[in-house]
């Protein structure tokens, strides 16, 4: 599938705009000549294979201003979509960006968009991310979800025997959690995985309440958001039981963003903490794109 970004690049308010704003990002209006400037840009080109460092070097060598970061959007198969975002270490002007706009990268011309406000940049990232989510088409017959199990008292053999009543299990893995373990079950079919979650999530077994939840592999990220947080320190401790936290952000409106050092730890924490109670308030979790995590956008 392809997405027409032409409307995004013809937006007169943020694409080489002369509109003033009191919430400009990166000193977006130059007081000397009233020329728009900013530190945030997006880059669009026809999809080609490239490494992020190649585009990084191309932009820096053309503009002659140091980049703080550059991230390229990718499809589910890991190939670039042709859309990237970047942040400079200092504001770049509209006229200076023209050196990059239209220049060829690996024989393909690039289009550049300047963002004069953080809000317009966030909106652009959301639009791209939403399209990516809409384009996901999972083959449920060949991609059954992993099933995460918490609070099961027993070893790998006993958990396999218990859940095999829902269908054939090809693999069981165990991971440390507090003074016990949690499990991931790999069912042969999606129907069996769904049956296990539907039948045993919240089930009382051996004086414990089981937590049984599915996760499709394409949904996972190292970053996730937690909503309705009442006690951030309690939450941080709970997350640390699953693995090492790389970054923990406390945002507004009872929202926290978390990045784990390992993807497997992030998957378990996000799935198994969902709907857990924090001071009688049920928290909600969801994976987030790295771009969202960087800009710290609470409006998800």
Concatenating the DSSP letter of every residue in 180-214 gives EEEEEEEESSHHHHHHHHHHHTT-EETTEE-EEEE
pLDDT digits (tens, 9 = 90+) for 236-282: 999 999 999 999 999 877 999 999 999 899 999 999 999 898 888 99
Domain extent at residue 160: 146-215
Domain assignment present for residue 16? The answer is: no
Domain assignment present for residue 81? The answer is: yes
CA–CA gap between residue 172 and residue 152 (Å, rounded): 13
CATH of the domain at 107: 3.30.70.330
The reply to whether 107 and 195 lie within a common domain is no
The reply to whether 44 and 131 lie within a common domain is yes
pLDDT, one tens digit for every residue, the chain (300 residues): 334 433 333 343 333 333 333 334 444 434 445 688 899 999 999 989 888 889 999 999 999 999 888 888 877 666 788 999 999 999 999 889 999 999 999 999 999 999 988 888 888 887 776 666 555 444 444 468 899 999 999 999 999 999 999 999 999 999 999 999 999 999 999 999 999 999 999 999 989 999 999 998 767 788 999 999 999 999 999 999 999 999 999 987 799 999 999 989 999 999 999 989 888 899 999 998 888 888 765 444
| Number of other CB atoms surrounding residue 66 within 10 Å | 9
Domain assignment present for residue 4? The answer is: no
**Count of CA atoms in the C-beta half-sphere (13 A) of 279:** 9
Domain assignment present for residue 89? The answer is: yes
Domain assignment present for residue 15? The answer is: no
Q: How many domains does the chain have?
A: 3
* 0.85 exceeded by pTM: no
Domain assignment present for residue 254? The answer is: yes
Q: Which of 156, 186, 215 is the last residue of a domain?
A: 215
Residue 193's region, left for phi above 0, alpha for psi from -120 to 50, else beta, is alpha
The reply to whether 232 and 211 lie within a common domain is no
Concatenating the DSSP letter of every residue in 92-115 gives EEHHHHTTTTT-EETTEE-EEEEE
Q: Which of 188, 215, 242 is the last residue of a domain?
A: 215
pLDDT value of residue 12: 36
Partnered with residue 87 across adjacent β-strands are: 40, 69
pLDDT digits (tens, 9 = 90+) for 20-34: 333 344 444 344 456
| Number of other CB atoms surrounding residue 46 within 10 Å | 10
Inter-CA distances, 132 with 17, 135, 140, Å: 27, 5, 18
CA–CA gap between residue 268 and residue 215 (Å, rounded): 9
pLDDT value of residue 72: 85
CA–CA gap between residue 41 and residue 93 (Å, rounded): 11
Domain assignment present for residue 29? The answer is: no
Domain assignment present for residue 2? The answer is: no
């Amino acid at each position: 599938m392809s997405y027409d970004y032409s409307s995004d690049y013809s937006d007169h308010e943020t694409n080489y705009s002369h509109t003033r704003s009191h919430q400009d990002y990166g000193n977006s209006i130059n007081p000397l000549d009233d020329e728009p400037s900013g530190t945030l840009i997006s880059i669009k080109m026809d999809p080609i294979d490239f490494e992020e460092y190649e585009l990084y070097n191309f932009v820096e060598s053309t503009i002659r201003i140091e980049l703080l970061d550059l991230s390229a959007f990718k499809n589910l198969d890991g190939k670039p979509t042709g859309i990237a975002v970047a942040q400079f270490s200092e504001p770049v002007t509209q006229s200076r960006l023209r050196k990059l706009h239209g220049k060829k990268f690996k024989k393909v011309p690039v289009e550049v968009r300047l963002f004069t406000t953080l809000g317009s940049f966030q909106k652009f990232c959301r639009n791209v991310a939403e399209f990516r989510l809409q384009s996901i088409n999972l083959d449920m017959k060949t991609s059954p979800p992993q099933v995460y199990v918490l609070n099961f008292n027993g070893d790998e053999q006993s958990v396999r025997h218990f859940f095999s009543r829902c269908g054939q299990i090809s693999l069981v893995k165990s991971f440390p959690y507090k003074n016990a373990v949690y499990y991931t079950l790999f069912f042969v079919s999606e129907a069996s995985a769904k049956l296990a979650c539907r039948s045993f999530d919240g089930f009382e077994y051996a004086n414990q309440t089981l937590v049984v939840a599915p996760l499709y592999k394409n949904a996972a990220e190292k970053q996730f958001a937690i909503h309705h947080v009442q006690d951030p320190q309690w939450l941080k401790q709970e997350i640390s039981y699953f693995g090492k936290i790389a970054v923990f952000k406390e945002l507004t409106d009872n929202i926290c963003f978390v990045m784990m050092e390992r993807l497997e730890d992030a998957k378990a924490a996000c799935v198994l903490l969902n709907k857990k109670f924090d001071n009688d308030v049920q928290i909600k979790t969801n994976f987030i794109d790295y771009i969202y995590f960087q800009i710290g956008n609470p409006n998800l």
